[in-house]
Chain A
C-alpha cells in the first residue's frame, strides 16, 4: 500500500479528484481538481505547490565524499562550489545511464543526491575503499517544489535568512520558516522560475500552511503530477522509465542509453578525472552515438487536417501522454527511425510537442520527420520538425 507523505494531511484535504498516483510507494496527487488546467497555469502564471517528497534522497559524507560523488556522476565535482547544485546523470561502466538527479554540495565533503530509483547500494559499492558514508535520508526529508513566476515573491514573505535576489539558478541557501530550519534549492522540473524546499518531516505541515497562508494573495495552488508532466515536457526535461530506461532495468541491450542519447551530453565532463563509464563515453563521443535526443514540434496545419479528414476538430488538448509513438523518415513510412516518448499539447505555446529518441543523423535540428498520430482509431502520420529544447524557456527561469 502506498504510504502518505509528510504533507498528506494537507494534500488529501484539497485533493477533490481523489486521483492518487503511486510514486515510489508513496501517495502522490495526480491532480487536485477535476481538470489540471488551473494547476498547469499556476506553474506558468502564479505559483504551484508540488509535493515531491517521494524522490529518493541520499547524503554522502566523510573525508572522501567528494571523491565518491565525482566517481559516480558524469559532471566534475572538483569544479562544484559549496552551495551549488548539479543536475547530472550517472552511468554504468559501459557508459549507459543508470539514473539522473540533482547533487547539492552542502559542504566541502557533504552532498545530497536525489534520484528516481533506489541508489544507496550502488553509491556504497562504487565507493568501496573510500572513506565516505552513504545514508538514505528519503524519509528524513520532506520536499516541496514551489514553481512559477510568483514563487520568489511568496518565499520572500515566508522565509527568513535568505536573500532570494542573490540565490542563483541551481544554487542553494539555508534559512528559517516560522523558526524551523529549511534548505532551499533553486531547482525544479518545470523549466520556470522555481524552488525546491527541503525540511525535516516534522515541519512539513507548518511549511505547507505558511506557504498557503502567505501565498493565497499570489494565487498559490497545489499542483499534481498531471500538470507537472505538461510543464516538464515544455521544458524538454526527461523522465526515467518514460523517456529512457535505466541500464539497471533494461532487459535487452538496445533499451539502454548513453547520456549523449538522452540529451545530457552537456553534462559529461570529458576533462574531469576518472569516473564510471568514462572510457566508454569517450569512445562513443569519438565514434558518434546511435541515437539522438530530440524535441519535435508537430506541423499544426497538418495535424488539423488529419482530424478534419475524419470530420473532427483537432482533439489534442488535455493530458500529456507517456505512451511512446513511432517516428518515421519523412515521406517514408517504411523506415522507422525512432520514437516520441512523451508528448503533449503545450498550452503556453499553442503547439503540439514531444520529446523522444531518433536515430542519428535524423536527429538534427531542423530535420523533418513523420510521427504517428491516432485519429478515430486510425493510425496516421503527422509531419513534424525537430526543434531545440526547451520548447519554453522564459528569462525569469534564470533571472
Chain B
C-alpha cells in the first residue's frame, strides 16, 4: 500500500491542459495528483468574483478549439459542460456611428456587408467556404503527434508520408490557399477577397490575437486559421461561451478528472522536479513538502518546464538554448468591467441580441496596424484593438439581475515597456486608453463602470504564472509550431529526463482552450508503458 505522498503521476499546473492530462492518466488507472499553485483550478481559464456579485472570466473568455474527442472521452456533458452560443460579431466604425453586423441571419449579414461593399457581400460565402476547407484540412494535425522530418525513425517517416498524402489529396485550389495561409499576412490573405475596412480588419484581427505581430506581418494568416479550426457540435469555426465563463469549463474538467479518480490539490505550488539518475522521482513543493511519483507532467510553459522546474544543466545545451530563444513575449491585456446596467451602442441603441455576441473594436486595418506600431517600440497601444463580449448577456448568472460584466481582450500591451517596468500608474493609463476606445462606441460606458480590473502581461504572468504573460505559452509562429514546438527534437511531449513529460500549450498543437496538448501528452506517456 502506498504512502500518502506517493503517486503514479503528478501533473504540475491545474490549468485546462493539466486537468485534461490528469483525467486521461487517472482513466488509465494511474494514481494521479494535480498540483495547482493558486487557490482555484483553471490557470488562465478561471472565473473569479473580483467585485461582489460580478463574475469575471478573468483571462480567457470564449471556447471553440476545445477538442471534441476530449468531450466524448471524458463524458464532459455529465460533468457540466455547457457551451452557450456566441454567434454574432458587431464592428463599430471608428467614430462609433455606424457598424457592420454579422450573425446567423445569412441574407441580412450579406446585406449588412453590402452596405460597405457589394463585392464583399458576394465574396463572403466563398471566403467562408475556403476557411471551411482549411479547417477541415488542418484539423487532421490537431490530433496527431508531430512527426519530425529530419529523422529516419520509421514512425516519423510513416507520419510524414501520411501527412504528405493527407495534404496532397487536397484539390489543387485548396492546396494553393493553404500555402498562402501558411505564409501570408492576415491582411494580405483577407484582401484576396475583401475590400471594405470593417470586414477586412475584423477578419484579420483573428490573425493577431495573442501574437506580437500586426495584421500586415507575414505569418499571421496562420494564426487566423488557428482561430478558425475550432468546431462545436461538428460546425467548424463556431465560437461559444462556457456557462460560468472559462472557469466553468475548468471546473467541469476538474469534476471529470476527479470522477476518474484524480486528486487535485490547490495552494500547492511546485518549486522543482526531483530528478535522480536521469529520471524523475517526484516534486518538491514551495512549502518544502516532497511528493513522489515516477511520472511528472508539466503543463506550464516551456521556459518554466525546462529552465525553472529542473536544473538546466541536466538538459542538453541545444534544448536549453532553443527554449531560451522560444518567443514568449506577451502582447495582450485584459480589462474586465462591472457595469451598473447594460451598455448601449451609439450606432445601435437598445438592448438586444446584438450585445450577446462579440463587439470588435477593429474599424480599419490601419487602426490595428497602428496599434501594433505602438507596441513594436515598447508602448501599449494608444488606441488598441479590443474584442469585447458581455458575458452576462449570454449567461445571466455572471452578474446580479440587470447588472452586467464586460470582458475586453486588448491588444497591444507589450510585456516589456520601452520606458521601464509596468507600474500601477501605467496600468491605469492603459485601462483608460481602453475605456476611451469603448466610449466612442458606448457613449455612456464611463458612467456605468462600478469596478474595473486591468490586467497587463505582467499581471497575467504574476497571477496565472505564464512566462511573460503569453496567452499561448509561446508565439504561434510557423517557426514555433508542429515539430518545432517547443524545440526541434523535443516536440513529442517527452523530455530528455525519463518520466518527465510536457503537456501544456507550449507543445503541439499550441494555445487556446484546446486541451489537445494535455490529452496527447498523457497518451504519449501511456504509450511509453509508463
Q: Which residues from B are CB-within-8-Å of A124?
A: 119
B122 to chain A, nearest CB (A): 3
Question: Considering the complex, which residues of chain A in the window 118-159 have a beta carbon less than 8 Å from any beta carbon of chain B?
Answer: 118-122, 124, 136
List A contacts of B126 (CB < 8 A): 248
Could you tell me the distance between the alpha carbons of A22 and B107 in the complex, rounded to whole angstroms?
9
A32 to chain B, nearest CB (A): 23
Distance in angstroms between the alpha carbons of A136 and B108 in the assembled complex: 17
CA distance A249 to B126 in the complex (A): 8
Shortest A84–chain B CB gap in Å is 27
Pick the contact of B122 from A2, A3, A22, A122 — CB < 8 Å? Answer: A122
**CB of A379, distance to nearest CB on chain B (Å):** 25
Contacts of B118 in A (CB 8 A): 120-121, 136
Chain A residues near B125 (CB-CB < 8 A):
118, 248-249
**Cβ contact within 8 Å between A118 and B122:** yes
The smallest C-beta distance from A256 to any residue of chain B, in angstroms, reads 10
Q: Which residues of A contact B66 (CB under 8 A)?
A: none
B110 is an interface residue with CB less than 8 A from chain A: yes
**How many A-B Cβ pairs are below 8 Å?**
36
- Nearest residue (CB) in B for A25 is B107
The answer to whether the Cβ of A13 comes within 8 Å of any Cβ in the partner chain is no
Which residues in A have their C-beta under 8 angstroms from that of B110?
25, 118
Q: Which of A20-77 contact B (CB under 8 A)?
A: 22, 24-26
4 nearest interchain CB pairs? A25-B107, A121-B122, A118-B122, A121-B119
Q: Which residues from chain B contact A121 at a C-beta distance below 8 Å?
A: 118-119, 122-123
Rounded to whole angstroms, the CA-CA distance of A2 and B105 in the bound complex is: 9
Given contacts A248-B129, A251-B132, contact A119 B107 (CB under 8 A): no
* Min C-beta distance of A259 to chain B, whole Å: 21
In whole Å, how far is B236's beta carbon from the nearest beta carbon of chain A? 11
B404 to chain A minimum Cβ distance, whole angstroms, is: 25
Q: Does chain B have a CB within 8 A of A399?
A: no
Which chain A positions have C-beta within 8 A of B107? 2, 22, 24-26
Q: Does A349 contact B (CB under 8 A)?
A: no
* B111 is an interface residue with CB less than 8 A from chain A: yes
Set of chain A residues within 8 Å of B132, measured between Cβ atoms: 251
In angstroms, how far is the closest chain A Cβ from the Cβ of B175?
13
The interface bits of chain A over 237-251 (1 if a CB of B lies within 8 angstroms of the residue's CB, else 0) are 000000000001101
Q: How far is the CB of A279 from chain B (nearest CB, A)?
A: 16
**Further 4 A-B residue pairs, CB within 8 A, beyond A121-B122, A124-B119, A136-B118:** A26-B107, A121-B118, A121-B119, A249-B129
A310 CB–B CB distance under 8 Å: no
When chains A and B are docked, how far (Å) is the Cα of A136 from the Cα of B125? 17
Number of interface residues of B (CB under 8 A): 17
- Interface residue count for A (Cβ, 8 Å)? 18
Pair B129/A118 contact, Cβ less than 8 Å: no
Cβ-based interface call for B121 (8 A): yes
Q: List 18 A-B contacts (CB under 8 A).
A: A1-B105, A22-B107, A25-B107, A25-B110, A26-B107, A118-B110, A118-B121, A118-B125, A120-B118, A120-B119, A121-B118, A121-B119, A121-B122, A122-B122, A248-B126, A249-B129, A251-B129, A251-B132
Does B154 sit within 8 A of A, measured CB to CB?
no
**Once bound together, how far apart are the Cα atoms of A136 and B121, in whole Å?**
12
Residue contact A253 to B171, C-beta cutoff 8 Å: yes
Is B133 in the interface zone, CB < 8 Å from A? yes
Interface residues of A (CB under 8 A from B): 1-3, 22, 24-26, 118-122, 124, 136, 248-249, 251, 253
Q: Give Cα distance in the complex from A394 to B383, angstroms.
A: 69
Q: Across the interface, which residues of A come within 8 angstroms of B108, CB to CB?
A: 1, 25
Nearest Cβ in chain B — how far from A73, in angstroms?
Answer: 18
- Cα–Cα distance between A2 and B132 once the two chains are bound (Å): 26
**Cα(A302)–Cα(B5), bound, Å:** 76
By a CB distance below 8 angstroms, the chain B residues around A2 are 107
A352–B108 CA distance with the chains assembled, in angstroms: 38
Distance in Å from the Cβ of A123 to the closest Cβ of chain B? 9
| Max chain A C-beta neighbours (<10 A), residue from B106, B118, B122, B123 | B122
Cβ distance B107 to chain A, nearest Cβ, rounded Å = 3
A255 to chain B, nearest CB (A): 12
Of residues 126 through 141 on chain B, the ones whose CB sits less than 8 Å from some CB of chain A are 126, 129, 132-133
Instruction: Name the distance in Å between B329's Cβ and chain A's nearest Cβ.
Output: 39
Chain A residue numbers with a CB within 8 Å of B133 are 251
Contacts of B111 on A, CB cut-off 8 Å?
3, 25
Q: Output the nearest chain B residue to A253 by Cβ-Cβ distance.
A: B171
**Is there an interface contact between B129 and A120, defined as CB atoms closer than 8 Å?**
no
List, in ascending order, chain A residues with CB within 8 A of B129's CB.
Answer: 248-249, 251
A395 to chain B, nearest CB (A): 39
CA distance A249 to B129 in the complex (A): 7
Q: A251-B133, A253-B171 are in contact. Are A119 and B105 (CB under 8 A)?
A: no
Most buried by B among A121, A122, A124: A121
A120 CB contact (under 8 Å) in B105, B106, B122, B171: B122
The smallest C-beta distance from A121 to any residue of chain B, in angstroms, reads 3
B residues in contact with A118, CB < 8 Å = 110, 121-122, 125
CB proximity of A139 to chain B, nearest CB, Å: 10
Complex Cα spacing A118 to B111, Å:
11
Q: Which residue of B106, B122, B171 contacts A119 across the interface (Cβ within 8 Å)?
A: B122
Q: Which residues of B contact A120 (CB under 8 A)?
A: 118-119, 122
Min Cβ gap A57→B in Å is: 13
Interface residues of B in 150-188 (CB under 8 A from A): 171
A83–B125 Cα gap in the complex (Å)?
Answer: 34
Which B-chain residue is minimally distant from A246 (CB atoms)? B125
Chain B residue with the shortest CB-CB distance to A119: B122
Q: How far is the CB of A69 from chain B (nearest CB, A)?
A: 18
Inter-chain CA distance A121–B127, complex, in Å, is 13
Q: How many Å from the CB of A90 to the closest CB on chain B?
A: 15
CA–CA, A120 and B124, complex, Å: 13
How distant is B27 from chain A, measured CB to nearest CB, in Å?
A: 35
Q: How many whole Å from A150's CB to the nearest CB in chain B?
A: 34
Which residues from chain B contact A248 at a C-beta distance below 8 Å? 125-126, 129
Query: Once bound together, how far apart are the Cα atoms of A136 and B117, in whole Å?
Result: 12
Complex Cα–Cα for A41 and B238 (A): 45
> Min CB distance, B182 to chain A, in Å?
21
Closest to B111 in A: A25
- Closest-by-CB residue of A relative to B123 is A121
- In chain A, what residue has the closest Cβ to B126? A248
- Which chain A residues border B171 with CB–CB below 8 Å? 253
- Interchain CA distance A120-B122 in the complex, whole Å: 7
A residues less than 8 Å from B123 (CB atoms) = 121
- Report the bound CA distance from A253 to B133 in whole Å: 12
| B136, closest chain A residue (CB) | A251
How far is it, in angstroms, between the C-alpha of A3 and the C-alpha of B110 when the chains are bound?
13
Interchain nearest-CB distance for B251 vs A (Å): 37
Chain B residues with CB under 8 Å of A25's CB are 106-108, 110-111
